[in-house]
Every structure is written in structure tokens, then in C-alpha cells.
Chains A and B, each alone.
Chain A
Amino acid sequence: MTTSNVTVHRYDPEIDDEPTFENYEVPVSEATSVLDTLFHIQEEQKENLSFRFSCRQGVCGSCGMEINGEARLACQTAVSDLDDPDDIRVRPLYNLPVIKDLTVDMDDFFEKFVEIDPSFESESLDETTDTAVIDPDSTERQRIAPRTDCIGCGACFSGCSVAGETYLGPAAINKALTLIEDSRDDKTEERLERLQEQDGVWGCHTQGNCSNVCPKDIPISEGIQYLKREAIKHGVKDALFPSSD
């Protein structure tokens, strides 16, 4: 057991003019995660720290935060794996408003999902019909498969240099891709039209930060580039065959 110096972003917008960073000495072992250090500060050092967690196993995506400058899941970040395990600095995700300390308001993040209409819709399938036969080796399925592993943690949104006010952001576009590629779904055109707008796929500056920080290794950036091509194709089709709507 050694100790690490954990520097934590403290901010209560209702009381504090600006955020501060507080230092805590926390005992750590080979097994200690960054989330564990926060629990230690909370439970043993009796600090009233606000942070979000749920499954502690990398499934729920609740404990996304910036750890030593990189958006990560605190539960999946072993202190011993950090480049500098003696000195840990945690702050809330970027691009989202802070509720308190390390907790951010995810409403804006999920509002972007609503914009791409995440609701699946099929005219031919319903509760009474057999499920569709989908070839597991098909290009469609292969393209969708890794992208449905998204746990909505917001790491990509935090890592993105253009996410914020208007740009849809990497997670929502990744979600749109899973639906656009899904041949069972009937709203492909509408979603492509939304993505064609300036704050859709064209808002992406192709820096690849989203893919780099994604804890589930989803090829988000590549997917956005793919959708740019699809959007162009769609735009061309609209221009050539305007009466097809």
C-alpha cells in the first residue's frame, strides 16, 4: 500500500464564485481504481464530495470524468496504470455544465440524441410479426455491431474540441449511424437530412479525440467520416432527383 495525492475539482455553483482544486492523500494498492480513491475521500476522510457512479464495472457509463487530462471511466482506471500514479488530478467532463464538484448535467448530452431521433421505427415489423432475419456477417451488421457498445458515458463529448453549444457531437452521431445502417428502420432519410446540417457531421473537425478516449474503443471518428460520405451521396441524390421525396 502506497499513497497517492489526489487533486479534486471542487465547485458548488450556488456558493462558490469559481472552482478550486483540493488535495487529498489516499492509500492505494494495485487494485485501487480512481473511483475507489473518491470513495475513500468520501467515506474515510469525511469529505462531502459529489461524484456519480453506479455499476462500478464499466457498464453504466456514470463515472465519466477527466483524469490527468483525459476523459475516462473512473471505475475502469486503475491508479497503478496511470503514467503518474502518485499524482492524480480529477475534474468533471468538459463541455457540460457542472452540477457540483465532479458531477455534470448530462441533459445537454442526451438532448443531442433526441435531435437525431433515436426512436427506431419500422412499418413492417411489430410485436406480432416474426423478428427479421439478419445475416451476422453482413456489412450492415458488421458496421453496426461495435457501435452499439456505446454506454453513453460522455467521454467522447468531453474529449471533442468542437462539442458544446450546437454541434451534435460524437455520441449522437454514432447513435445515428447505428440506425441509418439498420435496414429494418424506416427513418434513414430524415436522419441523414439532420446530419447534413452545418452542426451535424460537418461540425466534426476530424481530430479523432472521440475515438482515442472512448472506453469501449468505438471507431467514432471513422463513423462520422463515413456519414459525411453518405450525406454527400444523399445530397447529390436529392439534387438530381428532387421529385423522389
Chain B
Amino acid sequence: MAAYEERETDILIVGAGGAGMFAALYADDNTPDDTDITVVVKKLAGKSGCTRMVQGGYNAVLHPEDSIDRHYEDTIKGGKFLNDQEIARELVEGAPKIIRKLENELGVFFDRDEDGHIHQKPFAGQSFDRTVHKGDLTGIEIMTKLRDELLTRDVEFLEETRAIDILTDESGAGAAGSLLLDMRRGEFIAMASRMTLLATGAGATMYNISTPALEKSADGQAMAYRRGARFQDMEMMQFHPTGLLAGDTKLTGGVIEEGIRGEGAHLYNGEDERFLREYAPETMERSCRDVVSIASYKEIMAGRGTENGGVWLDATHLGADVVEEKFPGMTERTRNVGQDLSNTRVEVSPTSHYHMGGAVIDEQCHSDVPRLFVAGEDAGGAHGANRLGGNGVVDSTVLGKCAGEAMAEEFHDHEIGDISHSQVTDIIDRVTAPLEREEGEDIYELREDLEMTMWECVGVVREESELEESLDRIESYKERLERVSVPGSKRYNLTWNEVMDVRNLIIAAEMVARSALFREESRGAHYRNDFPEPDDENWLANVYVQQGDDGMETSREDVRFTRIHPSELEVEPTIPNTDAVQGDD
């Protein structure tokens, strides 16, 4: 008989990155003192996730000559008109308020202009210099101050505790809490709650070359999927063009700042050709993210990459002093792995960065599952087919706030219900099964196979046959997952933890592959070799996936242009204004 502890809380928040922490803050601000708010995080609070890693900054309209409408239009254009227009509006309207909240109530320091006002820098795809930042450590500043604030609040943190599955209420349809695993003690907790928020930060790590923190494994997306939530635009995975290739090290995929291309660095293929001449002769290396990523990927997949499967980034002609002075962090990063950006070429590759797709939500972050909220990168809608640099942390913070406020307002309407013992024990039996097997599949090999499949078949450039192939392979990974064996006990067992990660990544990966196969056009982050052009006539539509009776079901609906129609905006040029500094968050 599976043993577990039973607990309850009014508001349960899964994830302690930007979205989870903001949800906790605003839930606490808007509830009576005796309300129990619990944050569950599988790493340490405030020290994990992607908001912490934000280098670039935060887009917010602060200057009198800028406007919410302009930020909004930039966001919709950037998203190639696939955005949920109401959520996108919530984002841009909420951003200036969050900046004031951060500075005035949490004590964050953003960089200043010479006159002492908040400095805003230009980022690609934006019609105004509106990116607020603190050097290139904006995420550390925001997350540190958020954690400091919450340390003094009556919010309980369960660290190194992972949510495994959402528990349902008697009707089987609503979220009644979550089964948790305290990883340190290796013990399960059935946490009943009135409201549950998933804010775990998607799973760009499903690719072998990726930028995010290593723990991001689509946990929230997979949990929501298993309870029937609907997802949109899962094919939209953003690739950053220049992830560092550092051999067989975990640093591989870490971002080399795009600003260095703005400064004049060149890209060469393995045959010493500046290959962007073939793809974007006008703007070359200063082209936007998707153009450079697609060009590099095509060269690599055509066998014209470097020995290690990348391309060369060369800044040596700028002079070692210039590179060292302007890009000290990046230079140091390359030196850490035995290369040196200031005086040699370094190997880079497109790197999986940010998932625009996610669970369908409304402006208050309600998912389709009653009492289940989703915020941050686990949710879709805000960014459409492409996220602007500097809009990611806006998403986490603004939608985290919306979720916190909504849960605070609604939790009174629901009692804490009984947790189903059989549901809990079924889940425990399933997740502990690998510990019971003496021999079986190796989870790290399985993960590597999944990552390579995603890279080769569902990567920057896609086509039908490869996507079909990826689905066959994913099917086999599901079977292998059922045969995995894990040595050791339940306590602080990283290998066992990896099994739970991969289980979730496989679900998200299948959603990406199926949606990519379904969308027969190229738009934003989604490029189909067999359909290389955008098809506005047929594909100004969102792609949806959801669990059906026979597995994953895919469908589509035309985009609802609730605020602005494509015909009302100038057509976005393929190549953006190259004067703008590129963003790296």
C-alpha cells in the first residue's frame, strides 16, 4: 500500500520562477491573513527557472512618447498575428504597473539614464526603445528581490518538492490539488487545494541544444495535458541563433549574446563561407533570429557545418580589445570552455530557447480545467508565432499577477474537497515502478534519444516525412519509458527525478511534433521546408492539441481578431530594422 502524507492549502502554486512568485505575491496581497498559500518548487525558490536567467530585459511603456498601442502592435506583428489578442493586451497594459511594483515596492534597481530616470534600450522588433534592464543581469535582480519579499510573508515554500500530477475532484473534471514528492525525504504528499496554478516554465530542453535551466521539463504542460487541458500553437518553439557549442558539457546551448552580431561579427560554415549571403544578402548576420537560425540549421543539416555540428561565429576582426570590453560576460563564457571569443572563432548553433505555445488560458489564467490555472511559459497565446525579446519576463510577471489575483478572488467559492485515495495510489504505483525494476532501460540514454529526435526531425526546419518519423520514434520512447529502471532509494534520487522529467518531456514533444505536422505553412518560429511561405489565406489560425479517446487530437480554429486585423497593420518586413540591438532574454 502506497504511503503518503495528506495536507491541504487554500492556494497551491507549482513553480517558483517569475510567474509562480508573482502569483504568490499577488495572491498574498489580495487574501485575508489566514489564507494558506503554498508554493511548490522542485529546485530552490527564486533560484531556478528562466526569469532568473533573463539577461536582456523587460519591455514596458514608460516614456511619454511611447504608447501602449505601439507596444501592442509590435507584439502582434512580432507574433505574426497568431496571438490571443486579449492576453497580449493584458501583457502590454500590465507591464508599466509591474515595473513600478518592482522598483517602488520591492526595491529593484533598474539601470538609469544620465538624468536618473529608468534607462530603456532598443530591442529588435520594437518601434521604440522600451526595454528596461539592470545590466545583463536583469533576472537575478528581479528574482532576488521577489524572494526577499516573500521570505517575510506568510507564504509557505516547499522546496525540492515536485508536483507529479494534478488530482481531480469527484466529478473527475476539476483540479482538487496535486500529488507532490518531497525529493529530499523521498516521501509523497497528497496536497488538497481550492485553487491550483501551474507555472513551471515549459520544456525547451526537449532539444539537445537548448538555453534554459536544466530542470525545465514541461512538467506543468504535461500535468495539464493529462487532465484534459487544451493547448495551442505548440509548434511554435523559438530558437536563438547562437548557442555556444561546448562539446560534451552541460554549458552547450548557452546563449552568445546577439549584440555581437549587431557589432559586426560574422558567421561562417564549415567550408569557410559567409553563408548568410545565400539567405539574406542585404542584412547578413544582422538579420532577425528566425532568419539566422534557419540559415545556420540548413547549413548544418546539409553537412556544411563544423566538425561538431555548428557554424563559426567570428568576431576577431573587431579587435580583441573591443570584444573584451563590450562583451566581457560572453568572452568569459567562451574562455570557461576553452575557447576565446576575443581572439578566435567560436562554434555556435541555433539553440532551443522559448516555447510560445502552451495551455489555452484566458486573461485571468484559467485553463479549460476547472480550478486549474496556468501562467508563464506553460501557457500559450500571448506571443503567437514569435516572442519579442523583452516580452518573456513581462509574460511571467503580468500573467503571474493575473493568476494570483484571480485565485485570491475565487478561492472562497470552493471548499477543499476530499482527495481520492485510489487516484493517489495509482499515481504513486506508476512513478515508483522504475525503482522496483532490477534491470531495464537507461533514462539518460532515452533522454538523449528524445533530444536528438527533436533536433533532427522537429528542429528549426521541418518537413512532413521527418515529422512523421519523429512521431514513430516518440511512440517507441513511451514504450521504453515503461521499462526504465532506477537504482537507489527514493531520497534525493536524481536519476528517478530524471524519469519524471522525461515522462513529461515526451508528452510536450509529441504536442510539438503533431502541431508542426498539422500546420502546413511557415510562420514565425515554425518553418516547413515543404511549405516555405506563410499562407494567410488558410493559416491565420491557431493549432490546438488535446488528449482524446485515442491519444492526442489536433484541430484548428481561425484566429479571433478581437482588437486588430492584419489588414490594419503594415506588413512586417522579413528583415527587421537592423539598427536595433538584439534581445537575449
Contact = CB atoms under 8 A, between A and B. Distances in A.
A134 to B, nearest CB: 5
A59 B211 CA distance: 13
A175 B141 CA distance: 12
A179 interface: yes
A132 interface: yes
Given A30-B337, A179-B107, A119 B184 contact: no
A152 B249 contact: no
Interface stretch (B96-104, B222-230, B509-517, B536-544): B96-104
A108 interface: no
A141 B48 CA distance: 27
Interface stretch (B145-153, B276-284, B374-382): B145-153
Contacts of A32: 247-249
A57 B117 contact: no
Task: Give the dominant DSSP class at A's interface.
Answer: loop
Interface string B231-252: 0000000000000001111110
Contacts of A134: 109, 112, 116
Contacts of B145: 120
A99 B185 CA distance: 9
B187 to A, nearest CB: 12
B105 A120 contact: yes
Given A42-B495, A100-B491, A114 B151 contact: yes
A77 to B, nearest CB: 9
A239 interface: no
Contact of A55 (B107, B153, B213, B495): B213
Contact of B109 (A14, A52, A133, A148): A148
A112 to B, nearest CB: 11
Interface in A110-152: 110, 113-114, 117-120, 122, 125-136, 141, 144-145, 148-152
Nearest to A44: B444
Given A31-B246, A31-B247, A48-B487, A135 B104 contact: no
B107 A78 contact: no
Given A54-B213, A62-B48, A133 B494 contact: no
Interface string B106-142: 1101011111111000000000000000100101110
Contacts of B115: 133
A118 B100 contact: no
Interface stretch (A17-25, A33-41, A82-90, A199-207): A33-41
A103 interface: yes
A128 B100 CA distance: 7
Nearest to B152: A119
A49 interface: yes
Interface size class of A (residues with CB under 8 A): 35 or more
Nearest to B102: A131
B444 to A, nearest CB: 4
Interface of B: 43-44, 47-48, 52-53, 97, 99-101, 103-107, 109, 111-118, 134, 137, 139-141, 144-145, 148-149, 151-153, 184, 213-215, 246-251, 254, 333, 336-339, 442, 444, 487-488, 491-495
Interface of A: 12, 14, 29-33, 35-36, 39, 42-44, 46, 48-57, 59-62, 75-76, 78, 80, 99-101, 103, 106, 110, 113-114, 117-120, 122, 125-136, 141, 144-145, 148-152, 175, 179, 182, 184-185
List 10 A-B pairs, minimum CB-CB distance, nearest first: A120-B107, A30-B338, A118-B148, A125-B104, A48-B488, A31-B337, A133-B116, A119-B152, A50-B492, A136-B112
Given A60-B44, A61-B47, 11 more contacts: A54-B213, A62-B47, A75-B251, A106-B44, A119-B152, A134-B109, A136-B112, A144-B109, A145-B109, A150-B144, A175-B148
21 contacts: A36-B249, A46-B487, A50-B494, A55-B48, A60-B53, A99-B492, A110-B151, A113-B151, A118-B149, A120-B106, A120-B149, A122-B107, A125-B103, A131-B100, A131-B118, A132-B104, A133-B117, A148-B144, A149-B140, A175-B148, A184-B104
